[in-house]
Amino acid sequence: MKKNKMINLKINNQSVSVPEGSTILQAAQKLNIHIPTLCNHDDLCVAGNCRVCVVEQKGARVLVAACAQPVVEGMEILTNSLKVRNARKHVVELLLSEHRADCTKCYRNQNCELQTLANEYSFGDHIFLDLVGRHEQMIDYASCAIIKDDSKCIRCQRCVRTCSELQKVSAIAVSGKGADMKISTFHDRPISHVVCTNCGQCVNRCPTGALTEKNYIDYVWDAIYDTEKHVVVQTAPAVRVALGEDLGYDPGERVTGKMVTALKQLGFDSVLDTDFSADLTIMEEGTELLTRLKKVLVDKDKDTALPMTTSCSPGWIKFIEHKYPKMLPNVSTCKSPQQMFGELAKTYYAEKKGLNPENIVSVSIMPCTAKKFEANRPEMRDSGYKDVDYVLTTREFAIMIKQAGIDFRTLESSHYDSLMGDSSGAAVIFGATGGVMEAAIRTAYEIVTGKPVPFDNLNITPVRGMEGVKEASLKIEGCKKEWKFLEGVELKTAIAHGLTNANKVMDAVSKGKATYHFIEIMACPGGCIGGGGQPIPTNIDIRQKRIDAIYEEDMSLPIRKSHENPEIIQLYNDFLEKPNSHKAHELLHTHYVERVKY
């Protein structure tokens, strides 16, 4: 097959020319002709199972699925013939006939692809019999992160493809056939009792309300209105570049200042930033890496594991616990920024503010559903209190803003509160794949050599970008006295986002085929900006826009390196003493456990 060969065809009598291998759907998009779709998703392989996209191909015996049918020279397509309209209406009516359509009570109301189609094609006609009772109305509420409601499922298998293709987890799969066909887990167990990493990528791609995050909005309102409680909130880096999408902005708009104002108006007692603890993570993790390097290179310690991997992504942590438990020693012992923040909220912050930690409620706003699980891990309560009480996704946060009647667009910008509200640009870029690596290198290189990283504007471009697995190495030169053992060492790093890519890297490492020192892994495609808790839809274009916004935010900040964050310096001076100190270890580090394989 020659590349770039163009194919000419006609859609609704309009001529169009597209590269060989394109689908009818892609050709129609080029002509701005809309063909409805459901099972199709740009991130996933073609399924062709919902049949909503069927179109008429002149000369063909049957209708063809526009999402799956490759273009052929001279093809003539009709997307809106009577035959097509009738079939499409039938398909929509059939889907509705097996669907428990209680839209007004549904989490996806007004952002649901089935609902949109129903609005276009069905006018309460009820052509067919109601089959809802036929299906089990089993709703799986057992997980603290994800709710699965089979009565809302249209069996498009986007979730199944997400979990196997993008995440290589396969926690969910199709079971049964015919009328009994459904999306199921191993032995139909609750999703909390299988290999599911809680990444929420399936939730983000589900066209309906069949997969949603468990929402904690009302718990948070209760805490806010409880006068006994002091409610602190932290916001993850990736939220500020995506929240706008749920409030009517175009993808890629940064809304940091307005977001802080909105949080204050919602009634949080203190509005603080996960970016602060991201900077702290760099201090702790960077130091840990340097210590591990020393132990291996100088002390020849056989018990120290290298490469070291990051630990900020709880989806990744659960993945390695299930799939590569033997490699748990390679995972950094640092808690994630969310948990470090929560821990400090109930210790350092409480102490400084003279508050009883018992009365502090710590809330976090995250682009992530796995963070809900992480907050509930028994390991995450070293102060004697739960580090983080409630985790809200970006989507839940947007709902709260709407509930409170806040006109987001007209809000003034404001600044985070102090003590744990300052951050550097290095912390902001945690939200994008490669960001932790870049932040860590900015700081570690400077600790070791006393000089800033040798890159224009501190922008370490080799670790940036959307490639699934990135590799970069950096020769360390001009080391300070105490780091002389690193002189001339080529620091080798790898960066993976999406668990399928993580799996590739871990497979290579576990088989001894790759020799890295440091690996950054994010469970979600694109990093946290593409998290399972981010606005729906998320796709490759939207991820790119959010990433661009993240790097803009970095450039806009006066401080770009974690170790220069004044509140971090103050934290070590007043409370933790120094990175990896005894106290830091007690509060900010942890260990993980082996889990089942199915």
Partner 1 sequence: MMKTKKISKVDLIFEHIDPREILIKVHGMSSEEIIEEILESGLKGRGGAGFPTGMKWKFCSEEKEKTKYIVCNADEGEPGTFKDREILDRVAYKVYAGMAIAGKAVGAKTGIIYLRGEYKFLLPQLRMELDSFHKLLKETGYDFEIDFRLGSGAYICGEESALFESIEGKRGEPRNKPPYPTTAGLFGKPTTINNVETLVNSVIIMKYGSDRYKQMGTRYSTGAKVFSVSGDTPIPGIYELELGMSLFEFVKEFGDGDTKTVQVGGAAGFCVPRKLFANTVIGFEGVPTGGSMKLFNSSRSMYNVLHNYLEFFTEESCGQCTPCRVGCQQLLKGIESVKKGESQSTYLNELIKLADTMKIASKCGLGQSVGNAFKSIVENFREEIIY
Secondary structure E strands in 274-314: 308-309
The residue range among 35-43, 384-392, 432-440, 488-496 that interacts with ligand FES, by the rule CB under 6 A, is: 35-43
The residue range among 103-111, 241-249, 270-278, 342-350 that interacts with ligand SF4, by the rule CB under 6 A, is: 103-111
Cβ–Cβ under 8 Å, residues 316 and 520: no
- Say how far apart CA 91 and CA 53 lie, in whole Å: 10
Q: Number of residues in contact with partner 1, rule: CB under 8 A?
A: 40
User: Of these, 65, 67, 84, 99, which contacts ligand SF4 (CB under 6 A)?
Assistant: 99
Give 60 or 298: the residue with its C-beta nearer to ligand FES: 60
Interaction of residue 164 with ligand FES, rule CB under 6 A: no
- Say how far apart CA 568 and CA 584 lie, in whole Å: 13
Sort residue 186 into left (φ over 0), alpha (ψ -120 to 50) or beta.
beta
Interaction of residue 531 with ligand SF4, rule CB under 6 A: no
* Residue matched to tokens 């310096």: 569
Interaction of residue 37 with ligand FES, rule CB under 6 A: yes
The residue range among 175-183, 246-254, 295-303, 469-477 that interacts with partner 1, by the rule CB under 8 A, is: 175-183
Q: Mark 123-162 with x for binding to partner 1 (rule: CB under 8 A) and - for no binding.
A: ----xxx-x--x-------------------xx-x-----
Min dist. Cβ of residue 172 to ligand SF4 (A): 5
Give 131 or 593: the residue with its C-beta nearer to partner 1: 131
183 binds, among ligand FES, ligand SF4, partner 1, none (CB under 5 to 8 A by kind): ligand SF4
Give 169 or 448: the residue with its C-beta nearer to ligand SF4: 169
Give 183 or 308: the residue with its C-beta nearer to partner 1: 183
Q: How many CA atoms lie within 13 A of 556 on its CB side?
A: 10
Beta bridge partners, 522, equal 497
The residue range among 43-51, 406-414, 438-446, 456-464 that interacts with ligand FES, by the rule CB under 6 A, is: 43-51
- Dig out the tokens for 154 from the structure: 């249209």
User: Of these, 7, 69, 91, 158, which contacts ligand SF4 (CB under 6 A)?
Assistant: 158
Beta bridge partners, 492, equal 473
Cβ–Cβ under 8 Å, residues 401 and 408: yes
- Say how far apart CA 328 and CA 322 lie, in whole Å: 10
Interaction of residue 208 with ligand SF4, rule CB under 6 A: yes
- Say how far apart CA 211 and CA 62 lie, in whole Å: 33
Interaction of residue 87 with partner 1, rule CB under 8 A: yes
- Say how far apart CA 583 and CA 347 lie, in whole Å: 11
Beta bridge partners, 352, equal none
Min dist. Cβ of residue 41 to partner 1 (A): 15
Interaction of residue 65 with partner 1, rule CB under 8 A: yes
Contacts of 53 (CB under 8 A, 6+ apart): 25, 35, 36, 37, 38, 40, 65, 66, 67
- Say how far apart CA 179 and CA 286 lie, in whole Å: 54
Interaction residues for ligand SF4, span 168-187 (CB under 6 A): 169, 171-172, 183
Give 113 or 288: the residue with its C-beta nearer to ligand SF4: 113
Give 70 or 190: the residue with its C-beta nearer to partner 1: 70
Interaction of residue 437 with partner 1, rule CB under 8 A: no
Interaction of residue 118 with partner 1, rule CB under 8 A: no
Interaction residues for ligand FES, span 45-104 (CB under 6 A): 48-53, 65, 67-68
Contacts of 410 (CB under 8 A, 6+ apart): none
482 binds, among partner 1, ligand FES, ligand SF4, none (CB under 5 to 8 A by kind): none
Interaction of residue 388 with partner 1, rule CB under 8 A: no
Min dist. Cβ of residue 54 to ligand FES (A): 7
- Say how far apart CA 124 and CA 96 lie, in whole Å: 10
- Say how far apart CA 262 and CA 155 lie, in whole Å: 38
Cβ–Cβ under 8 Å, residues 342 and 382: no
Secondary structure E strands in 436-580: 469-475, 490-497, 518-522
Cβ–Cβ under 8 Å, residues 94 and 128: yes
- Say how far apart CA 334 and CA 337 lie, in whole Å: 9
Cβ–Cβ under 8 Å, residues 332 and 285: yes
DSSP assignment, residue 166? I
User: Of these, 88, 155, 335, 497, which contacts ligand SF4 (CB under 6 A)?
Assistant: 155
Min dist. Cβ of residue 416 to ligand FES (A): 43
Helices (H) and strands (E) in the chain, counts: 19, 18
Interaction of residue 449 with ligand SF4, rule CB under 6 A: no
User: Of these, 54, 75, 108, 386, which contacts ligand SF4 (CB under 6 A)?
Assistant: 108
Interaction of residue 145 with ligand FES, rule CB under 6 A: no
- Say how far apart CA 241 and CA 227 lie, in whole Å: 32
**ω into 537 cis (within 30 of 0):** yes
**Which are the catalytic amino acids?**
285, 288, 312, 332, 371, 374, 379, 528
For residue 523, which of 236, 238, 278, 315 has the smallest C-alpha distance?
Answer: 315
The residue range among 209-217, 220-228, 304-312, 405-413 that interacts with ligand SF4, by the rule CB under 6 A, is: 209-217
- Dig out the tokens for 407 from the structure: 């006109």
- Say how far apart CA 198 and CA 395 lie, in whole Å: 16
Give 307 or 533: the residue with its C-beta nearer to ligand SF4: 533
Give 66 or 308: the residue with its C-beta nearer to ligand FES: 66
Min dist. Cβ of residue 133 to partner 1 (A): 11
User: Of these, 43, 98, 285, 520, which contacts partner 1 (CB under 8 A)?
Assistant: 98
SS3 content of the chain, % helix, strand, coil (to 5): 45, 15, 45
Interface contacts to ligand FES, rule CB under 6 A? 37-40, 48-53, 65, 67-68
Interface contacts to ligand SF4, rule CB under 6 A? 99, 101-103, 106, 108-109, 112, 114-115, 146, 152-159, 162-163, 167, 169, 171-172, 183, 196-202, 206-211
